[in-house]
Amino acid sequence: MAGDLTIRAFQGLIRERYYATDSARGSEATFLWFAEEVGELASALAEKHRGREDRTNLEEEFADVLAWLCTLANINGIDLEAALRKYTIGGGPAGTKS
């Protein structure tokens, strides 16, 4: 894919490559894979915090988390780009993230 990659385009790429396998696995099992990837990202961030950053691994873990999130959205019929309206319309949700 050339040029900038939108969230919708990335979600579509994940759908094209993995939907058959992902949908057969189902939401519950797929969420466990997603959680495992979040754990791997947490470990990579902890290593960075300890001064032992592996930038390549950190980038890969961020990409994996996003890919598995797209997988979950795909098998549940959610368009992530449309869902992001929550943050782009009317100034976003009230409150702060702490």
**55-98 pLDDT, tens per residue?**
999 999 999 999 999 999 999 999 999 999 998 887 777 766 65
* pLDDT band, residue 40 (cuts 50/70/90): very high
pLDDT of the residue at 98: 59
pLDDT of the residue at 95: 66
Exposure class string for 16-42: b at 16+ Cβ within 10 A, else e: eebeeebeebeeeebeeebeebeeebe
48 domain residue, yes or no: yes
Return d(Cα 3, Cα 47) in angstroms, integer. Answer: 32
**The domain spanning residue 40 has which CATH number?**
1.10.287.1080
**Total domain count, the chain:** 1
55 domain residue, yes or no: yes
Owning domain of residue 68: 26-78
